[in-house]
Each structure stands twice: as structure tokens, then as C-alpha cells.
Structure 1
Amino acid sequence: MLVREVMTTPVVTVPREWTVKQAVRLLYEQDITAAPVVDEAGQMVGIVSEMDLLRGEFEADPRAYLRPAAEPESAPPTAVEEVMTPHVRTVRETDDVLQLVDLMMTTGVKSVPVIRDDGLAGIVSRRDLMGILAHGDERIRDDVLTALKELSAETAAARVAVHDGIVELGGDGDDRTARIADVIARTVPGVVRVVHHQ
């Protein structure tokens, strides 16, 4: 599966000159965990997450302590540019989703912008990936059958069963037809693995 098949587009972005409060409101209203930060020309200059925006936004409540809470050493940041991450990990829309998942797991990032040429094409969050995995077996089976019929006349007669995202392919075709069916089935969102039965 390719990144472009799971990415969210159009991308909600935050202007670099916005305040932290404006960005908090946008992420909350859009129900997203992060957004790319763009300059006046629309070029990505960073990314800002919920955690970035929460930093320094709350003061200690004196009711929670036996003695008065210490005054903060400095005022909290007020501009998005002060809290954003300037060095952004990205993927291309033609990258394999497996590479994206590996990037998320090794770096701990929850959202990754998707690049096309030099511009922003989309964004993928962990929630997007979970949504693909949450596809029911019946939907996956229908999508695999449709893909097999549309993409190759040789694979149109293949038998398909799906259980927990695992696609079982069967049919009377030769090895070449089985390989074609395998490749096609693996491109369908929600497919975890493909096995063959004669």
C-alpha cells in the first residue's frame, strides 16, 4: 500500500505568524493532533503538535499544594514559531506505508507530512493508519474482488476469503496468475497479509 492511499488531503496548516492560542483552537476544532506550519508563500517551515502547544500553557493551582506554588521562571511562549518543530520528518506519496509506519515507530511522531515535488500533498496520522486497519473483512473482500476484476482479466475469477484482514486467494490459474493476484491484493487498504490456496 502506498502513502497516497492513506493520507489525508487537503492538509490543515497553521500560518507561522499565528499565536499559540489560534493554533490550539484550530487543532481542537479540526480534531487533529498536529499540523504543518507554513510561511507566507505556503511553504512548510515546521510542524506543531498538541504537545508543543500545551507546553507552558498551564500554571500550578495553589489548591493542589501545601505551600504556594513557585512562580514560573519565564512567560510561556505566545507564537507558533516559538513552539513548532522546525526539522520535519516527511514521506513521499509514492513511499510504501511500511516505511511510514517504521518512521513513526522509531521516532515516536504521530503525524507525518506527505511531500509531492517540493510541496505539501497530504498528511498521515496514526489515526489514519488505524482507520485502514479497522476496515471490516467484508469491505476488504469486496475491495479485493473489485481490484482483481478491474486490474487484470486473468485474476477476475479468483476466489477470495478474508479473515482478520488476512486475504486467502484461490483459483484454478497458473503460478503467474497467482503472482498477479497476490500483488493486486496487497495494494488494497486494510489487507494485512495474503495467502494462497489451490
Structure 2
Amino acid sequence: MLVREAMTSPVVTIPPSATVRQAIRVLDEHEITALPVVDGGRLVGIVSEMDLLLGEFEADPRAFARPRTAPSGSAGPGTPSPRHVGDVMTREVETARPGTDVAELAELMMRTRIRCVPVLDGPAIVGVLSRRDLVSVLARGDARIRDDVLAAIAELGPGAPFDVSVDGGAVELRGAAGEPARRIAEVLARTVPGVRQVSIRPVRP
């Protein structure tokens, strides 16, 4: 399966000039954990919920039993200016292409603990692949995967029928087709989201 078949698109992005609070609201509204940062149509970074939350909460004096007297009225000259996304984002971003193999990217994400990878087609960001996307792919039921595999290999025509069984995302194709048709059927089956592996059992005509 390729990244373009599992990624989320269109993409929710944010500019580096947005404030941290604005970015937090976007994450909350869209129920996501990270945002690609785009400036002038170009990917310049990524900001995660951890980046945004860092430093946003002050200690509550009640927790230390030492009440502090807060100044009344408007904020004084010492009040810090609102932080912006460009101040807290990660600038070195791991990216993928739509034609990248999902298995390869999933291994990278698990190894490096990256939560979200922007997908670029040239300079344009066309999607994101997150851990949630990977879980959604794996959560697809075997019956649905079987239907999709049957639909995919139907491209071979009625002259090369296959029986299809699926167990935990593992697909087995059984049929009397020749070697070229079996290779094509295997490739087509592997394009179906949720397929972990494909095996072929030739059946004598």
C-alpha cells in the first residue's frame, strides 16, 4: 500500500505567524495532534501539541499553599508578548512522497516516534500520514478487505478467477491462473488498504 492510499487529505495547516493559542484552538477543533507549518505555500516546519503546550500553564499557587496577590487591572509592561508558532515549531521535518510504501514509513515513524509526517508532491503539501491513519488502516475488517481485493483483481477479467480469503489482513489467493496473471493479482491485492501480506496458492485446472 502506498502513502497516498492511507494519508489524510486535504491538510489542515497553519502559518508561522499564528499565535500559539490560535494553533491550540485549531488542534482542538480538528481533533489532531500536529500541524504542518506553511509559509507562502512552502512547508517550513511542523508543530505538535507538546510544542504548543510547553510553557502555557503557570503554577497554581493553591497547590503550594502560598497564595500570591495578583495585580489588578490591565497587564503591566512586564507581561510577555504572545508566542507564535514560528517560535516553537520543529524546523527539520521528516516528509514522504505519495508513492512511498506505507510499511517503510510506518517503520520509520515507530523507530523515531514521529507522530505525523507531511506528504509532499513536489513543493506542495498534499496530505499527512499520522499514527491515527495507520491505526485506521489496520482496523479495517477482513470482510471489507476481501471485497476490495476481489474488486481489484476483477481488472484481470473473467478468464483468471481467484478465490480470496483474508485472515487478520493476510490475503490468500487461490486460482488456476498462469504465472503472469498471478503476479499481477498479487500486485493488485497489495494496493488494498489494510492488506498486510499476500500469498498465492496455485490450483491445478
Gaps of 5+ in 1: none
What is the Cα-based RMSD across aligned positions, in Å? 2.0
Cα offset, 1:115, TM superposition? 0.5
Cα offset, 1:180, TM superposition? 1.8
Amino acid at match of 1:121: V
Match of 1:35 in 2: 35
Q: In the superposition, relative to structure 1, how do residues 83 and 156 fare at CA in structure 2: closer, same or farther (>3 Å)?
A: farther
Q: In the superposition, relative to structure 1, how do residues 169 and 155 fare at CA in structure 2: closer, same or farther (>3 Å)?
A: farther
Alpha-carbon distance in 1 for matches of 2:59, 2:81: 13
Alpha-carbon distance in 1 for matches of 2:188, 2:174: 14
Runs of 4 or more, structure 1, over 4 Å off, are 66-69, 74-77
Alpha-carbon distance in 2 for matches of 1:17, 1:155: 59
Q: Does 1:184 align with 2:188?
A: yes
Which of 111, 114, 127 matches 1:106? Answer: 111
Q: Is the 8 A contact 1:2 1:95 kept in 2?
A: yes
Q: Is the 8 A contact 2:170 2:197 kept in 1?
A: yes
Cα offset, 1:62, TM superposition? 3.0
CA deviation string 1:138-196 (max 9, x = no partner) = 1000000000002x227751110111111111011123322221111111110011122
Trace 1:35-184 onto structure 2 (pairs within 5 A).
Answer: 35-39=35-39, 41-65=40-64, 78-150=83-155, 152-153=156-157, 156-184=160-188
Identical amino acids, percent of aligned pairs: 55
Q: Is the 8 A contact 1:148 1:181 kept in 2?
A: yes
Moved more, 74-83 or 48-57: 74-83
Q: Is the 8 A contact 1:185 1:191 kept in 2?
A: yes
Trace 1:5-20 onto structure 2 (pairs within 5 A).
Answer: 5-20=5-20
Amino acid at match of 2:189: A
Partner of 1:14, secondary structure, is coil
Partner of 2:92, secondary structure, is coil
Structure with the greater alpha carbon radius of gyration: 2
Alpha-carbon distance in 1 for matches of 2:105, 2:38: 22
Q: Is the 8 A contact 2:160 2:176 kept in 1?
A: no
Alpha-carbon distance in 1 for matches of 2:60, 2:149: 55
Alpha-carbon distance in 2 for matches of 1:155, 1:64: 75
Amino acid at match of 1:165: G
TM-score norm. by structure 1 comes to 0.90
Partner of 1:15, secondary structure, is coil
Partner of 1:91, secondary structure, is coil
Aligned residues: 192
Moved more, 136-145 or 164-173: 164-173
Q: Is the 8 A contact 2:160 2:177 kept in 1?
A: no
Q: In the superposition, relative to structure 1, how do residues 49 and 38 fare at CA in structure 2: closer, same or farther (>3 Å)?
A: same
Match of 1:2 in 2: 2
Partner of 2:147, secondary structure, is helix
